[in-house]
Structure 1
Amino acid sequence: MNVLKGQDILALGFMTFALFVGAGNIIFPPIVGLQAGPHVWLAAAGFLITAVGLPVITVVALAKVGGAMDALSSPIGRAAGTLLAVVCYLAVGPLFATPRTATVSFEVGVAPLVGEGPLPLFLYSVVYFALVLLVSFYPGRLLDTVGRFLAPLKILALAVLGAAAFMAPAGPVGEATPAYTAAAFSQGFINGYLTMDTLGALVFGIVIVNAIRSRGVEAPQLVTRYAVIAGLIAGLGLVLVYVSLFRLGAGSHAIAAGASNGAEVLRQYVQVTFGSLGSLFLALLIALACLVTAVGLTCACAEYFARLLGAPYKALVVALAGFSLLVSNLGLTQLIHVSVPVLTAIYPPCIVLVALSFCHGLWRSPRTVVGPVMLVALAFGVVDGLKDAGLAMPMALKHLPLAEQGMAWLVPAVVTLAFALLCDRVLGAQALRKA
C-alpha cells in the first residue's frame, strides 16, 4: 500500500494553499481592515468563518466522499446535484473567478507599470492564459509544478508582505465606516463570500484527491486523511495571510483613506514601504498568486466537464482558457459588479449542503431533509442577491431577520431544517409501525 512521504504531504498542503490564495484573497482583506478601523478584528472573525472555516470544512466533506461534488450532492438527487455542480464550476471557472484572476493581476500589478487600456489588458491576458493552458494540460504534474515550485515562491512573497504589515505599519488605525460601526462581524462574514473559497473548495476537492492518487495512493482512508491534512495546512496559511492583510489595511488610513478597493490599499502600501521596487514586487506577487489559482480552476473545470460531457480533457482546457480570456477583457469592475449578486444567491445552498453532509446519521432520509433546506436557502439567497443587484424589493422582504446583514436565508433555513427533521422522524416512525 503506497503512502505519502512527509515532504509529499507538505507539498500537497502547499499546493492546496496556493490553489486557494488568488486575487480575491489578497485584495479583499485590506479594504475590510481599512473600513473596519478599530473594529477590524471583529470583522476579521466574521470574514475568517466564510473565507477559511467553510472552505476547510468543505475540503474535509469532499475528502470523505472521494473528492467528487456529485457524491456530496447525492442527497438532493442526480439532476439537482448536477445542476448545482455545473453552476458552481461555471461560477468559479470561466464566468467569474478565472477571468478575475487575470484582470486583478493586470490592474493591480501590471497596469501601474505599462499603463491601462484595452490593448495592454488584451496582450497581458493572452500571455497569462497561454501559461495557464500550458500548465493545465498536465494535471497529473500539479503536485510538482505547483506544490514544489510555484507554491513556495508564492508563500515567500506573501510572507514578506505579511511581515512588513506588522513590522512597518503605514500609520495608526483610523475610524470605521458606518457599516462596520453598526455590524462589523456580519460585514466581514459577507465579504468572505467574495473570495469564492467555499465554491472553490467544492471545485478543488477533486484536484486535491487526484494529486494524492497520482502518487499511487488508492486506499480511501489514506486519501481522506491526506486531503484533511492538506486542508488544515491550507487553512492555517490562509489565516496567517488574512491576519497580516487585515493589519495592513487597518494601518493604512494615513496613505489610503479614500481607497475604494483593496487593490488601491495594497498599491499605496507597497509603494510607500518598498519604494521604487514596490510596484514590481506587487506585480510579481499578484501575478503568481492569480496564475496558480487559475491553473487549479481550469484543471478542475476541465476534469469535471470531461466526465460530464465525455469530451477530451485537453480540448476543454483550450475552450475554458479561451472563454476566460474573452471574459477577462470586460474589466475587473464589471466582473465584480455581476458576480456579487450571483455569489450571494448560490453561497447559502452550498453552505447548507456542506454543513448537513456531516449529519446524515441523524436522520432516516437525507433527501427528505437536505433538499428542502437547500431549496429554502437558495430562495432567500436569491432575495439577498437581488437586493445586492440594486433591484427594488417588497417591504416585507426588506425586514426579514438578518436581511440588513445580507443573511436573510439563515433563519428560514434553520426553521425549515427543524420542520424537515420532525417530518423525517414522523415518517420513520410510521415506517417502523408498518414493518
Structure 2
Amino acid sequence: MNKDTFTIGFMLFALFFGAGNLIYPPTLGMESGTSYWAAIFGFVITGVGLPILGVTAISYVQNDARELADRVHPAFGLIFTSVVYLAIAPFFGIPRAATVGYEMSVVPFAKEPSSLSLFIFTTIFFLLVYLISLNPSKMVNQIGQLLTPILLLAIVALSIGGFILIKNPLGPPAEKYQESPFFTGFVEGYLTMDAIAAVAFGIIVVNAFKERGMTNHQELFRSTLKAGLITGIGLFLVYASIGWIGASISSAGTYTNGGDILSSAARIVFGDFGVLLLGIIVTLACFTTSVGLVVAAGQFFTKVTKIPYKWLALVITAGSYLIANQGLNTIIKFSIPVLTFIYPIAIVLIALTFMHRLFGGRTAVYRWAILFTAMISLYDGLIAFGFKLDNLTTFLAMLPFFEIGLGWLIPAIAGGLLGFSVQRFVRNDA
C-alpha cells in the first residue's frame, strides 16, 4: 500500500468515526455480558464491514450514490438517496451528535439534568452550527482533522485504563442476546448508520483517488478497497475496546445509554478532569460532524430542488434542533424502526453492485430483489415501531432466518432470480 492509500484510509476513518457512534458498542457490551464477543463480531459486520463495502461499491459509478440507486429506477434513486440524507442528517445523525455532546459534557456534572439544560445546550450548539454552515471554510475541516486524532488518543487511553482498572466479572446477557447474540449484534450494527452513510461518503473517497491521478477502473476499485480495510481495522479496534468497557462496567451500576457508560468509565480511569476533557473533545467532534452533515445534506437537496442553499441549511438545522430536544434515548428509539427498514435495502443494493456483471446489469434483477427486500424490511420496521401484525407474523415466520432478523434474505435472493428469469425470458421471446 502506498502513502495515498493510507492517507485516504485515515480520512475515511475520520468520516466514519463520528462521536455519535461511540454510544452503541458500550451499550451492546453492557447488554450482551458473557456473550459479548459473539455480539460484537455481529455488530462489526454491519457497523464496519458493510460501510467499507458500500464505499467500495461507489467506485463503480461516475458521480454519486444516486447513480447507484438509479439502477433500480430513477424515481427510486431520488427517493432512496433523499431518505439516506434525511436519516444521516436532520432526522437522526445531527440530533444524535448534538445529544451525545450534551450527554458527555453536561450530564456528568449536572445535579439534575433536565429538558431546560438540554434546551440551552442545543440552542447554542445549533445556532453555531447554522452560522458556520453558511460559510463552511477549510477551518472546519482542519479542526475536524485535528480533533479526530485527539479523540482517538482519548479513546485509546480510556480503553487501556479500562482494561487495567475495570475488572468486574461479565454479567449474564440480556434476553435479546441469549439465543442468537451474533445475529442480534448484526442487527444492532444498523444503528451506526454507517452503511447508508457510506453511500454518501463513497464519492469523497473515489474523488480523492482521482485527484491523485488514478483513472483506471480496476486500480480505483482496489485502492478504494485497501483504504477501506485500513479504516475497518481502526473501527474494529475502537468498537471492540469501548464495547468491552461496557461489558466490564455493567455490574458496577445502572446506565441509561452509551454516553453514560463512557462518562462513568472516564471518571473511574481519569477522575472528574478526565470526564470534562473527554466531554469537551467529544462535543467539538460532534459539532464539526454536524456542520459537515448540514453542508452535505444542504448541497444535495439544493441540487435536487434548486432551493437556495441558505434556506435549506436553515430548515435542516431547525429540524435537527427540534428533534435533538427530544433527548438521546428518544432519538435512538425512533431511529431503530427506520433503520430496520432502510438497512436491508442498502445491503441488497450494495451486494447487487458487486454482482452487477454476473447478471449483466439487468434492471429487473435490481427491481425485484429490492421490491421483495423492501416488503419484508417494511414489516420488520413496523414491528420495531410497535405495530401488532399477528396474522402477518404467523405467515412470515415460515421464512428462513426470520427469528434472527434476517427474514428478508431469502426473498431478496428469490426476487433477484425472478427478475433475472423474467428479463431473460422477455428478451428471448422478443
Q: Same fold (TM over 0.5)?
A: yes
- What do the CA deviations read for 1:98-155 (whole angstroms, capped 9, x no partner)? 1111012212332222452233222322332344345545667389525642322222
Q: Which residue of structure 2 lines up, in the alignment, with residue 190 of structure 1?
A: 187
Q: 1:314 to 1:206 in 2, by over 3 A?
A: farther
Preserved CA contact (<8 Å) 1:204 1:296: no
1:112 has 2:108 as partner: yes
Change over 3 Å in CA distance of 1:267–1:71 after alignment to 2: same
Show the counterpart of 1:166.
163
Tell me, in whole angstroms, the C-alpha distance in 2 between the residues paired with 1:128 and 1:397. 43
Aligned to 1:422: 421
Greater displacement, 357-366 / 165-174: 165-174
145-154 vs 66-75, greater mean Cα deviation:
145-154
1:92 matched residue in structure 2: 88
Structure 1 stretch 223-232 or stretch 188-197: which is displaced more? 223-232
- Deviation at residue 39 of structure 1 after TM alignment: 1.4
> 2:358 aligned with 1:362, yes or no?
yes
Give the AA of the match of 1:71: E
Provide the C-alpha distance between the structure 1 equivalents of 2:302 and 2:224, rounded to a whole number of angstroms. Answer: 23
SS of equivalent to 2:173: coil
Aligned equivalents of 1:239 and 1:77: distance in 2? 35
Name the aligned partner's letter for residue 390 of structure 1.
Answer: G
Superposed CA offset, 1:220-249 (max 9, x none): 757656644443332222111111012112
How do 1:7-406 and structure 2 match up within 5 A? 10-66=6-62, 68-114=64-110, 115-133=112-130, 136-137=133-134, 141=138, 144-145=141-142, 148-209=145-206, 219=215, 221=217, 227-256=224-253, 258-398=254-394, 399-401=397-399, 402-406=401-405
Q: Residues 142 and 316 (structure 1 numbering): CA distance in 2 closer, same or farther, change over 3 Å?
A: farther
Q: CA deviation at 1:181?
A: 1.7
Q: 1:356 to 1:123 in 2, by over 3 A?
A: same
The alignment's TM-score, normalised by the length of structure 2, stands at: 0.89
Whole-Å Cα distance in 1 between the matches of residues 295 and 59 of structure 2? 18
Mapped pair 1:412 → 2:411? yes
**Does the Cα contact within 8 Å between 2:368 and 2:418 map onto a contact in 1?**
no
Q: 1:22 to 1:148 in 2, by over 3 A?
A: closer
Aligned-pair identity (%): 36
Equivalenced residue count is 425
Q: Would the aligned equivalents of 1:377 and 1:410 in 2 still touch at CA under 8 Å?
A: yes
Kept in 2, the 8 Å contact 1:344–1:381? The answer is: yes
What is the CA distance between 1:59 and its match in structure 2? 0.5
Note if contact 2:9-2:228 (Cα within 8 Å) is conserved in structure 1.
Answer: yes
User: CA RMSD for the aligned pairs?
Assistant: 2.8
User: Which deviates further from its counterpart, 174-183 or 240-249?
Assistant: 174-183
In the alignment, the residues of structure 2 paired with residue 335 and residue 236 of structure 1 have an alpha-carbon distance, to the nearest angstrom, of: 28
Contact 1:18–1:146 under 8 Å retained in 2: no
Secondary structure (helix, strand or coil) at the match of 1:76 reads coil
TM-superposition CA deviations, 1:43-95 (whole Å, max 9, x none)? 11110111001000001111321351111112111111101111111111111
Q: 1:253 to 1:96 in 2, by over 3 A?
A: closer
Output the amino acid matched with 1:251.
Answer: S
Q: Which moved more, 1:158-167 or 1:66-75?
A: 158-167
Q: Using a 3 Å threshold, how does the CA distance of structure 1 residues 140 and 224 change in structure 2: closer, same or farther? A: farther
> Residue by residue, what CA displacement relative to the aligned partner does 1:325-350 show, whole Å, maximum 9, x if unpaired?
22211222222222111111111111
**Which deviates further from its counterpart, 52-61 or 66-75?**
66-75
**Is the 2:362–2:420 Cα contact (8 Å) retained in structure 1?**
no
Q: What's the secondary structure of 2:113's corresponding residue? A: coil
> Which runs of no fewer than 5 residues in structure 1 stay unpaired?
none
Q: 5+ unaligned residues in a row in structure 2: which ranges?
A: none
